[in-house]
A and B are shown apart, each in its own frame.
Chain A
Amino acid sequence: MLKKEQSDLLTQTGPGTPMGEMFRAYWMPALLSEELPEPDCPPVRIKLLSERLLAFRDSEGKLGLIDEFCAHRGVSLWFGRNEECGLRCPYHGWKFDVTGQCVEVPSEPVESGYAKKIKLKSYPLIEKGGVLWTYMGPPEKQPPEPEYEFCSVPLNQTFTTKRIQESNWLQAMEGGIDSSHVSWLHRGDLSSDPLFKGSVSNQYNMKDLAPVFEVVDSEGGLLIGARRNAEDDQYYWRITPWVMPCYTGVPPRGDHPMHGHFWVPIDDHNCWAWSYDYHPTRPLTDGEVTAMKNGKGIHVKYVPGTYIPLANKTNDYLINREAQKAGRTFSGVEGIGMQDASLQESMGPIVDRTKENLVGCDNGIIMARHRLMKAAKALVEKGITPPGVDPAHHKVRQAALLLKRDVPFKDGAKEALKAKKGVRQTSV
Chain B
Amino acid sequence: MLSESTRMSSAQEAAYRIQYPNSKKRAVKVIALDKMSARIVDEVSRMEWNGATFFTSLSFAAKSKPGDTSEGMQAWLEDLAGKTQDLVTEVENADFVVVITAAGEDARAVSVIADACALHNKTLVGLVVPQSQTSDEQVTHSLNHLRPFTRMLVVASGIDYVEAMLHALRA
Which A residues lie at the B interface, using CB under 8 A?
A: 1-2, 212-217, 269, 313-314, 316, 345-350, 352, 355, 357-363, 366-367, 369-371, 374, 405-406, 408, 410-411
| A residues near B22, Cβ cutoff 8 Å | 355, 357
- B 13-26 to A, binary, CB cutoff 8 A, 1 in contact else 0: 11001000011000
Is B8 within 8 A of A366, CB to CB?
no
| A residues near B170, Cβ cutoff 8 Å | 1, 357-358
Is A215 within 8 A of B154, CB to CB?
yes
Selected from A316, A360, A371, the residue in CB contact (under 8 A) with B1 is A316
Decide yes or no whether B61 CB sits under 8 A from chain A.
no
| B residues near A346, Cβ cutoff 8 Å | 8-9
Is B17 within 8 A of A348, CB to CB?
yes
| A residues near B125, Cβ cutoff 8 Å | 360, 363
Is B168 within 8 A of A358, CB to CB?
yes
Most chain-B Cβ atoms within 10 A of its Cβ — which of A212, A360, A367, A411?
A360
CB distance from B135 to the nearest CB of A (A): 12
Is B123 within 8 A of A347, CB to CB?
no
Q: Which residues 119-171 of B have a CB within 8 angstroms of A? A: 123, 125, 136, 139-140, 143-144, 147-148, 150-155, 157, 160-161, 164-165, 167-170
Decide yes or no whether B7 CB sits under 8 A from chain A.
yes
A-B contact list, 9 entries, CB within 8 Å: A1-B169, A2-B168, A216-B155, A348-B13, A357-B170, A361-B152, A363-B125, A367-B157, A371-B157
Decide yes or no whether B11 CB sits under 8 A from chain A.
yes
CB distance from A378 to the nearest CB of B (A): 12
Decide yes or no whether B96 CB sits under 8 A from chain A.
yes
Q: A217-B155, A358-B169, A367-B154 are in contact. Are A348 and B9 (CB under 8 A)?
A: yes
Complex: how many Å from CA A1 to CA B49? 13
| B residues near A369, Cβ cutoff 8 Å | 164, 168
Is A269 within 8 A of B8, CB to CB?
no
- In terms of DSSP, what is the predominant structure of the interface of chain A? mixed
Is A349 within 8 A of B9, CB to CB?
yes
Is A214 within 8 A of B147, CB to CB?
yes
Is A370 within 8 A of B164, CB to CB?
yes
Is B123 within 8 A of A217, CB to CB?
no
Q: A348-B13, A357-B22 are in contact. Are A370 and B143 (CB under 8 A)?
A: no
Looking across the interface, which residue of chain A has its beta carbon closest to that of B96?
A: A360
Q: A355-B22, A357-B22 are in contact. Are A408 and B10 (CB under 8 A)?
A: no
- Ranked 4 nearest A-B pairs via Cβ: A313-B8, A360-B152, A348-B14, A348-B9
Is A349 within 8 A of B157, CB to CB?
no
Is A366 within 8 A of B123, CB to CB?
no
Q: A215-B154, A269-B11, A349-B10 are in contact. Are A370 and B161 (CB under 8 A)?
A: yes
Is B153 within 8 A of A215, CB to CB?
yes
Complex: how many Å from CA A367 to CA B129? 13
Looking across the interface, which residue of chain B has its beta carbon closest to that of A352?
A: B17
| B residues near A213, Cβ cutoff 8 Å | 151-153
Is A215 within 8 A of B13, CB to CB?
no
| B residues near A313, Cβ cutoff 8 Å | 7-8
Looking across the interface, which residue of chain B has its beta carbon closest to that of A312?
A: B8
Is A361 within 8 A of B151, CB to CB?
yes
Most chain-A Cβ atoms within 10 A of its Cβ — which of B9, B150, B151, B154?
B154
CB distance from A50 to the nearest CB of B (A): 14
Is A363 within 8 A of B154, CB to CB?
yes
CB distance from A375 to the nearest CB of B (A): 11
Is B152 within 8 A of A363, CB to CB?
yes
Complex: how many Å from CA A355 to CA B23? 8
- B 65-104 to A, binary, CB cutoff 8 A, 1 in contact else 0: 0000000000000000000000000000000100000000
Looking across the interface, which residue of chain B has its beta carbon closest to that of A373?
A: B164
CB distance from B152 to the nearest CB of A (A): 4
Looking across the interface, which residue of chain A has its beta carbon closest to that of B95?
A: A359
Complex: how many Å from CA A363 to CA B156? 10
| A residues near B160, Cβ cutoff 8 Å | 370, 374
Q: A345-B8, A374-B160 are in contact. Are A359 and B169 (CB under 8 A)?
A: yes
CB distance from B154 to the nearest CB of A (A): 5
Is B10 within 8 A of A212, CB to CB?
no
Complex: how many Å from CA A371 to CA B164? 10
Looking across the interface, which residue of chain B has its beta carbon closest to that of A268?
A: B11
Q: A269-B11, A316-B1, A370-B164 are in contact. Are A406 and B144 (CB under 8 A)?
A: yes
Complex: how many Å from CA A359 to CA B96? 9
Q: A1-B170, A214-B147, A370-B160 are in contact. List 7 more A-B contacts (CB 8 A).
A: A215-B154, A215-B155, A269-B11, A345-B9, A349-B9, A359-B169, A411-B140
CB distance from A316 to the nearest CB of B (A): 7
| A residues near B153, Cβ cutoff 8 Å | 212-215
Is A1 within 8 A of B8, CB to CB?
no
Complex: how many Å from CA A363 to CA B10? 28
Looking across the interface, which residue of chain B has its beta carbon closest to that of A227?
A: B147
Is A360 within 8 A of B151, CB to CB?
yes
Is B167 within 8 A of A1, CB to CB?
yes
Looking across the interface, which residue of chain B has its beta carbon closest to that of A349?
A: B11
| B residues near A410, Cβ cutoff 8 Å | 139-140, 143, 155
Is B9 within 8 A of A347, CB to CB?
yes
| B residues near A349, Cβ cutoff 8 Å | 9-11, 14
CB distance from B141 to the nearest CB of A (A): 10
Selected from B13, B143, B155, B168, the residue in CB contact (under 8 A) with A366 is B168
| A residues near B96, Cβ cutoff 8 Å | 359-360
Complex: how many Å from CA A120 to CA B69? 71
CB distance from A183 to the nearest CB of B (A): 15
